[in-house]
Amino acid sequence: MSDVPPADPAAGLDADLLEYLLVAVPAAERLDGVVATVVGLVRSGSIRLIDVVLLHRAGDQASVVTSAGQEVELLAPLVEVADPRVRLSAHDIALAAVTVEPGVSVLLLLVEDRWAAALSRVVREAGGRVLCGERVGSDRIRAAVGRSVSGADRRRIGDLLVRGPATSAHPELAVDPAAQLLTLAELVERGVLTLEQYEVQRRRVLDG
């Protein structure tokens, strides 16, 4: 197998095991238990926390306010256990902000899945690598439960993957929803679109 980069001991991170998580709550004040649990997962060695950003969208706004972890006192315990050698870009954060519903706060976490380190190591020893992954949405799981079939009948099963390995490895193949929604939000600010119309278009972008 070609194109198999070695683990980087200088960085101390397994680049094949990084993923982002979005945790949504009705208000940032309800994140205390989430913060404590993430800290516990870091200290147990299950994950390595790399970056943390708080996103919030007011119920009457199209735009999403973003705050770095060190800017929010509630997130101080996460900042203390984070390993900040990699950072999410402004565009990464904008892509996550696309999913934020009105009146909701979202914790964006970049983590290394340390629980999968043994698997990654064995795969490398076999000359391969863990390529990519995607968190499957619960709505898709619920729709698929009880409909599992085998063989050719798989063609009649609803999709679980949103992007799939092709666009995960080559994001340039995917349409940029952040750019689409930025244009729509500007139309709201100019009074061309109502907030209700914006939400309709936003859902179409997300479901696209």
Domain span holding position 59? 1-130
Instruction: Name the burial class of residue 38, with classes exposed (0-12), middle (13-18) and buried (19+) by CB atoms within 10 angstroms of its CB.
Output: buried
The rounded distance, in Å, linking the Cα atoms of 143 and 152 is 19
In a domain, 152, yes or no: no
| Same structural domain, 4 and 78 | yes
| Same structural domain, 77 and 178 | no
In a domain, 155, yes or no: no
Domain boundary among 130, 148, 177: 130
Domain boundary among 130, 153, 178: 130
The mean pLDDT of 14-26, rounded to a whole number, is: 91
In a domain, 151, yes or no: no
Instruction: Name the burial class of residue 51, with classes exposed (0-12), middle (13-18) and buried (19+) by CB atoms within 10 angstroms of its CB.
Output: buried
The mean pLDDT of 51-73, rounded to a whole number, is: 91
Residues in CB range of 161: below 8 A, 6 or more apart = 134, 136
| Same structural domain, 23 and 101 | yes
Domain count along the chain: 2
In a domain, 154, yes or no: no
| Same structural domain, 189 and 117 | no
Q: Convert the pLDDT of each residue in 102-157 to its tens digit.
A: 999 999 999 999 999 999 999 999 999 888 777 777 877 887 776 655 555 667 77
Say what the pLDDT of residue 10 is.
Answer: 42
* Helices and strands in the chain: count of H runs, count of E runs: 8, 4
Q: Which amino acid is at 176?
A: D
In a domain, 142, yes or no: no
Say what the pLDDT of residue 98 is.
Answer: 86
Sheet containing strand 104-112, strands side by side: 18-25, 104-112, 48-57, 65-68
Nearest CA-CA partner of 198 in 105, 62, 96, 101:
62
pTM of the predicted protein model: 0.77
| Same structural domain, 167 and 75 | no
